[in-house]
């Protein structure tokens, strides 16, 4: 098994958006809910300019994607999605480590996460702590667990 974490090519963005959609659907949401989330689950060419994105490639195929945006001392984890067929094989951990390392190297001291409720235990496992609830960007009235991972500075 070979795995690398690398930047995406612009031509891969439609496939990565589809991966995010398939990945989100693993929690059993209905099609109306999924359609309401489609915008938030897409990656556009402008995202390559304004955010940082990494792809996990495993045995030559796309296995996951993560996206962060660093603003001053805060970094936002905008996406972290693993291909359903390869869940629970360490890809989420590898992409989360990429996100935390890059955020640290860009000067952030915390990584903010608005988690899917079913993904929150994964983030706790990664050392994040609960700090409350955040409104969903896709579904009016829905709230999501908000977590923070404290980052070590590398000064």
Binding site for ligand COA (CB under 6 A): 23-24, 26, 80-82, 87-93, 115-116, 118-119, 121-122, 125
Question: Smaller CB distance to ligand COA: residue 125 or 129?
Answer: 125
Give, for 82, the enclosing helix (H) or strand (E): strand 74-82
* Complex with ligand COA: residue 107 or 127, whichever CB lies closer: 127
**CB nearest ligand COA: which residue?**
92
Closer of 8 and 92 to ligand COA (Cβ): 92
Tell how far CA 52 is from the center of its chain.
Answer: 11
Rounded CA-CA distance 154/113 in Å is: 21
Pure H helices in the chain: 13-24, 31-37, 45-50, 91-105, 120-125
Contact indicator for 146, 115 with CB cutoff of 8 Å:
yes
**Least distance to ligand COA, CB of residue 11, Å:** 23
Q: Could you tell me the smallest distance in angstroms from the CB atom of residue 103 to ligand COA?
A: 16
| CB of 3 vs ligand COA, minimal distance in Å | 11
Taking alpha carbons only, the member of 99, 125, 92 closest to residue 26 is 92
Using the minimum distance from each CB to ligand COA, give the nearer residue, 107 or 124. 124
């Amino acid at each position: 098994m070979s795995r690398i974490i690398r930047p995406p090519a612009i031509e891969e963005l439609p496939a990565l958006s589809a991966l995010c959609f398939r990945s989100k659907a693993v929690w059993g949401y209905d099609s109306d809910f999924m359609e309401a989330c489609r915008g938030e689950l897409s990656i556009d060419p402008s995202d390559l300019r304004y955010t940082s994105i990494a792809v996990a490639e495993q045995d030559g195929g796309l296995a996951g994607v993560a996206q962060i945006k660093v603003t001053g001392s805060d970094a936002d984890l905008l996406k972290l999605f693993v291909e359903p067929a390869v869940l629970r094989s360490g890809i989420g951990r590898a992409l989360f480590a990429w996100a935390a390392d890059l955020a640290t190297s860009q000067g952030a001291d915390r990584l903010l996460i608005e988690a899917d409720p079913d993904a929150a235990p994964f983030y706790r496992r990664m050392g994040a702590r609960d700090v409350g609830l955040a409104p969903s960007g896709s579904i009016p009235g829905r709230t999501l667990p908000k977590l923070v991972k404290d980052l070590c500075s590398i000064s």
